[in-house]
Structure 1
């Protein structure tokens, strides 16, 4: 019979990252199950940065992927984020390796191998900072192919969605008045908190219409800002939906439904006590929110927590990538990224700002007069004048 103390001693001596395996092919279903110290076992090709940030927030010690974390199609950003956070990475363990790791089992990950104690369960490719950097450099060569496919997909998407993108056909009528007002559209990016902080002064002083997409509604509430319009995906998981109280507090709730889909997404929101508006489009909810805002003729549209550059758009792995590109073309010169707002808008001039300027001017004027002959005479007479004033005041109160 083996001694439990002996087993624990061997476990401590064995190298690698140790934790409870949480096995799930789909990342969306895996993330809610993760706890600090777990080993995330998944199957996702080209891990993106948003997923990497979610894994870090969950506190995992290792990530084991059945597929390549970096396939070479384009330089996806997720593995570099995980490696920089010190998380052990193993990819390409394959379907057999994924099946060999039991969910809930205590495992150890070391040098590209997943162990149960000293028994090997699965093996793949170990990735550290240097390996990730080398793979990313090779992956940059795949951008040309991705751009060619992207150009073709954009043409097809525009053909299908031209009525919505060009003419606004099918957009719901909002009760929130947007025309002639600034709009802030809040997505679900990984730096959402810092980007909301960057536009806080603008939001407090300019009173823009706040449009939140999915989890962006709760991020606004955490910053003590109330969204006027909330845009949701019909097939969003329950944990991705805002609270019922948050939805009820908004003036408009819009549900983005894929073309030809039924009412299942609407009915789920209706059961929360909300009467949503239907928006049928192949564009993602973030892109639909931009089109929705632009169609109401705002003065400016500030994008918070949204993918801005080519690398970020490719890294998002969205099926409607062409929709993101065309929606931004639709908004055009009105669109401003949240990172630019602090450089473009410093806030209104307040009364105390003017008071400080006046005081500074008076001090400068007094200093200039003091160095003149007249100023010297005034300074010589100042003690006597103050003494007379004090004598007169004391006589009044005696």
Structure 2
């Protein structure tokens, strides 16, 4: 690290920074109650991009991680996003930091974390250089992960071949899907921007709106109402569950469905879909089996790094699911970036009219322009008189 960058890194270190502790082992649950100026305390190995973007959006004073933000398993992007946003990131603090009481005032001085003057933990401050070094080493682990991914794919194919190829085990739902478009929403990369870009599509085609867990809340945020909510129901709000959507609880292959208890506690009905894969796979297989004409996916996982971000060996199921529904599937991820700089026809017309008005106003302010307007007016009078005479003569 050169002298300039070293001084910049030292200046960014948290010295005597205070904030109220928000503690949760599940980052996606923490961000719901995290407020600007709070100290986020998590236990998240390999912070993924979606988790990092959620943390950054909440504007915490700092992020304290009990685990390693980059384990070396693969080059995850989350830590870079947090640090580039100017939020201090201290990781590898150990399990004691998770015992800090919710709401307690936490003081951060360099890499030390104290509560009421007592040292709780010391960790590793992450900056751009330390993250770059760790990511360089993590890239070497991708080949191993690729081998594991291939093995998991074959294992999933062996266990779920009847579901994949014959639709065995897909439940029947009341929601009419046959010959309609289905829009499946997962809270993944760029899902907000992509949903905004798809507003005209939703208005014109009125697809079946399927929220995968928290994707149902994303649908509600757009002012729409989900028709189906599919998932294990661990990251969807009560408001979404009560929105009137039909609920499909994703269960383990042996029939155990942890999310079913929550649904029943709200007095809601549901159907069960036992499957090994992820909830987004279950949603795709469901609408495909029910006869959807087109499947549009927003925020779903498609690349190896995204699968690893998800943190499940079972993500290999997504690869095979996409092969199964591939002829119908349209991946809308990144559509907002594709059309970001596009100008609509209405905007062009308004711009042209504004330009013509400006030119006309400028001409009217000059003597030559006044004469021109008088000549044009006289010409229009002659034309109108000629038209009147024709009809009068008839």
Contact 1:215–1:242 (8 Å) recurs in 2: no
What is the match of residue 293 of structure 1? 287
Is 1:328 the counterpart of 2:328? The answer is no
Contact 2:194–2:335 (8 Å) recurs in 1: no
Deviation at 1:393, TM superposition (A): 8.4
What is the match of residue 228 of structure 2? 229
Is 1:283 the counterpart of 2:277? The answer is yes
Secondary structure in structure 1 of the residue aligned to 2:149: helix
Deviation at 1:58, TM superposition (A): 3.2
Contact 1:88–1:109 (8 Å) recurs in 2: no
The 1:266/1:389 distance shift into structure 2, 3 A limit, reads same
Deviation at 1:72, TM superposition (A): 0.9
Contact 2:220–2:240 (8 Å) recurs in 1: no
How far, CA to CA, are the matches of 1:72 and 1:61 in structure 2? 26
Is 1:41 the counterpart of 2:35? The answer is no
What is the match of residue 242 of structure 2? 245
The 1:150/1:264 distance shift into structure 2, 3 A limit, reads closer
Secondary structure in structure 2 of the residue aligned to 1:333: coil
Secondary structure in structure 2 of the residue aligned to 1:320: helix
TM-score, normalised via structure 1 length: 0.76
Deviation at 1:190, TM superposition (A): 4.8
What is the match of residue 73 of structure 1? 73
- Structural mapping, 1:171-320, within 5 Å: 171-233=170-232, 236=234, 240-246=237-243, 248=244, 250=245, 252-262=246-256, 265-320=259-314
What is the match of residue 97 of structure 2? 98
The 1:137/1:265 distance shift into structure 2, 3 A limit, reads same
Deviation at 1:300, TM superposition (A): 2.1
How far, CA to CA, are the matches of 2:281 and 2:86 in structure 1? 34
Tell me the matched-pair count: 345
What is the match of residue 85 of structure 2? 85
Deviation at 1:242, TM superposition (A): 4.4
How far, CA to CA, are the matches of 1:102 and 1:386 in structure 2? 84
What is the match of residue 353 of structure 2? none
How far, CA to CA, are the matches of 1:218 and 1:43 in structure 2? 25
How far, CA to CA, are the matches of 2:199 and 2:62 in structure 1? 36
Residue-by-residue CA offset, 1:187-216 (whole Å, 9 max, x unaligned)? 122532211112211121122222111222
Residue-by-residue CA offset, 1:223-253 (whole Å, 9 max, x unaligned)? 232322221315x15x64543431x2x2x32
Deviation at 1:155, TM superposition (A): 1.3
- CA RMSD of superposed structures (Å): 3.3
How far, CA to CA, are the matches of 1:68 and 1:244 in structure 2? 34
Runs of at least 5 residues in structure 1 that lack an aligned partner in the other structure = 1-13, 354-380
How far, CA to CA, are the matches of 2:183 and 2:30 in structure 1? 31
Secondary structure in structure 2 of the residue aligned to 1:303: strand
Deviation at 1:87, TM superposition (A): 1.0
